[in-house]
């Protein structure tokens, strides 16, 4: 037990130490906490959800959009775990733990956004199977809670067990470890599939009510998630001694471009299917793309996301551009933002317009919501920064138990 406590203390002691650049980065992120705290007080303590931009017609907005998007980011860890463990792609050796730290962070952020969406976080226990009021297994929302919490636990076990064994210089228990790794690979697909089911089982929302939704969710997840990992890897390679081979980044960039291509194909299929017959069931997509009845707040956002995704896809098809590690992170940020707009903003909000009763009303986030969303992202980026820093220390051998000095143990 003492070695485990020592590991936790040494891990976070190392993770919280750094140079001026590291502290400046954490300081910039912490600046977002001030308006976040104010917004949190206004919504959680003083006034409730009245300070948000929700209406009777639009009950899902930026909180839910970020929840949907971040589930995909969490699932994307499988894009490094799968080729490393299943196909023995050794160049991803120093990338796997970074991917698992990202998965842990993304699930924690998902939970944070859900808490703000609920309005009454003290009633979260109602989402718990058996004791809660939601009729499990009939409630898709409860299934989502189960798979997300399960995925969080799996990544904590896999990531921190691996690091603890490195820390103590002990060999991995292969049977124990690989069992959880394979479960986590399959589980990663379930979290975003169930999240898609949460939306596409709503028959009154035509924009969501189609069987392509899980495929759309997974394809965009496996484009946006690895894109974020690439940005993290390039940053880590520039600022630490951790070796990140070009081959690892090249593999991830290929994963990004092909899944982005699939996502764009599915988007085009959806557009043709909706707009060619152009029935009343296409109103939600028409509103998102062109506006309707003089309401057009979503139009510039939708087209900005389309241009960002298409432009990034075209550029990433060019091998010379894809292997330019100065330009690549910029393209990855662009497509990440484009997918966030399309999936985390336009899809969720446009799916609410018009309402099932045919009422058209637009949504505008309030400053309180903007403060909270920005603060939640800053908290998430801060958590990932700290977890990744600690993981890098373990991989470099800077975080090591005194009794493990001199031990050379092969790890996955």
pLDDT score, position 176: 92
Angle of the 96-118 helix axis to the 78-85 helix axis, nearest 10: 150
Residue 94 lies in a domain: yes
Residue 408 lies in a domain: no
Contact call for residues 398 and 11 (beta carbons, < 8 A): no
Angle (nearest 5°) at CA 43 between 39 and 47: 125
Residue 376 lies in a domain: yes
For residues 187 and 192, what is the distance between their CA atoms, to the nearest angstrom?
9
Residue 263 lies in a domain: yes
Separation of first and last alpha carbons in the chain: 24
**Alpha helices (H) in 291-327, listed in sequence order:** 299-316, 319-322
Contact call for residues 141 and 376 (beta carbons, < 8 A): no
Task: Tell me how far CA of residue 386 lies from CA of 4, 148, 210, 224, in angstroms.
Answer: 19, 22, 40, 21
CB proximity list for 321: less than 8 A, separation 6 or greater:
315, 327, 328, 331
**Alpha helices (H) in 119-245, listed in sequence order:** 140-168, 174-200, 213-239
Residue 409 lies in a domain: no
Residue 378 pairs with which residues in a beta bridge? none
pLDDT score, position 135: 75
Domain that holds residue 66: 2-401
pLDDT score, position 161: 93
Q: What is the CATH number of the domain that holds 32?
A: 1.20.1630.10
CA 35 to chain centre: 23
Contact call for residues 117 and 195 (beta carbons, < 8 A): no
CB proximity list for 202: less than 8 A, separation 6 or greater:
208, 209
Residue 292 lies in a domain: yes
pLDDT score, position 280: 84
Our count of domains for the chain comes to 1
CB under 8 A, 24+ apart: contacts of 253-258? 253/226, 253/316, 253/322, 253/323, 253/328, 254/322, 255/79, 255/222, 255/223, 255/226, 256/222, 256/223, 256/226, 256/227, 256/230, 256/316, 256/332, 256/335, 257/313, 257/316, 257/317, 257/322
| Residue among 141, 288, 148 at smallest CA distance from 202 | 141
pLDDT tens by residue, the chain, 412 residues: 778 888 999 999 999 998 999 999 999 999 999 999 999 999 999 998 899 999 888 888 899 999 999 999 999 889 999 898 888 888 888 899 999 999 999 999 999 999 998 877 888 888 788 787 877 778 888 888 899 999 999 999 999 999 999 999 888 888 999 999 999 999 999 998 999 999 989 988 988 998 889 999 999 999 999 999 999 999 999 998 999 999 999 999 999 999 999 999 999 999 999 999 888 889 999 999 999 998 899 999 999 999 999 999 999 999 999 999 999 999 999 999 999 999 988 999 999 988 888 889 999 999 999 999 999 999 999 999 999 999 999 999 898 887 765 555 555 5
Place of tokens 């292997």: 323
Contact call for residues 112 and 380 (beta carbons, < 8 A): yes
Residue 258 lies in a domain: yes
Residue 148 lies in a domain: yes
Structure tokens at 175: 């049977």
For residues 17 and 28, what is the distance between their CA atoms, to the nearest angstrom?
16
């Amino acid at each position: 037990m003492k070695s485990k406590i020592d590991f936790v203390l040494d891990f976070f002691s190392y993770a919280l130490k750094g140079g001026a650049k590291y502290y400046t980065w954490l300081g910039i992120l912490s600046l977002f906490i001030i308006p976040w705290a104010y917004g949190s007080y206004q919504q959680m303590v003083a006034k409730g959800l009245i300070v948000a931009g929700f209406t009777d017609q639009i009950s899902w907005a930026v909180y839910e959009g970020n929840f949907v998007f971040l589930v995909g980011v969490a699932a994307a860890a499988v894009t490094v775990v799968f080729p490393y463990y299943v196909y023995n792609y050794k160049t991803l050796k120093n990338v796997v733990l970074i991917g698992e730290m990202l998965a842990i962070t993304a699930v924690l952020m998902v939970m944070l956004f859900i808490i703000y969406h609920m309005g009454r976080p003290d009633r979260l226990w109602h989402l718990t199977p058996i004791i809660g009021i939601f009729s499990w297994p009939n409630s898709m929302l409860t299934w989502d809670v189960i798979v997300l919490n399960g995925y969080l636990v799996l990544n904590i076990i896999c990531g921190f067990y691996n690091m603890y064994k490195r820390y103590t210089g002990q060999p991995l228990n292969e049977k124990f470890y690989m069992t959880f790794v394979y479960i986590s690979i399959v589980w990663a697909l379930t979290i975003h599939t169930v999240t898609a089911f949460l939306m596409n089982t709503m028959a009154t929302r035509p924009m969501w009510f189609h069987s392509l939704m899980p495929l759309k969710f997974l394809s965009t997840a496996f484009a946006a998630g690895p894109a974020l990992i690439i940005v993290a890897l390039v940053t880590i390679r520039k600022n630490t001694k951790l070796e990140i081979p070009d081959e690892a980044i090249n593999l991830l960039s290929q994963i990004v471009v092909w899944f982005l291509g699939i996502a764009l194909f599915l988007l085009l299929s959806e557009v043709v299917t909706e707009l060619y017959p152009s029935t009343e069931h296409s109103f939600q997509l028409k509103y998102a793309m062109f506006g309707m009845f003089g309401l057009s707040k979503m139009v510039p956002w939708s087209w900005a996301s389309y241009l960002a995704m298409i432009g990034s896809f075209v550029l990433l098809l060019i091998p010379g551009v894809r292997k330019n590690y100065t330009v690549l992170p910029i393209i990855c940020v662009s497509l990440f933002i484009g997918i966030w707009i399309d999936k985390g903003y336009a899809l969720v909000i446009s799916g609410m317009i018009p309402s099932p009763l045919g009422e058209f009303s637009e949504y505008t986030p309030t400053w309180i919501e903007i403060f909270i969303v920005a603060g939640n992202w800053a908290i998430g980026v801060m958590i990932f920064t700290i977890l990744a820093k600690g993981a890098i220390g373990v991989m470099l051998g800077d975080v090591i138990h005194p009794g493990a000095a001199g031990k050379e143990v092969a790890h996955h």
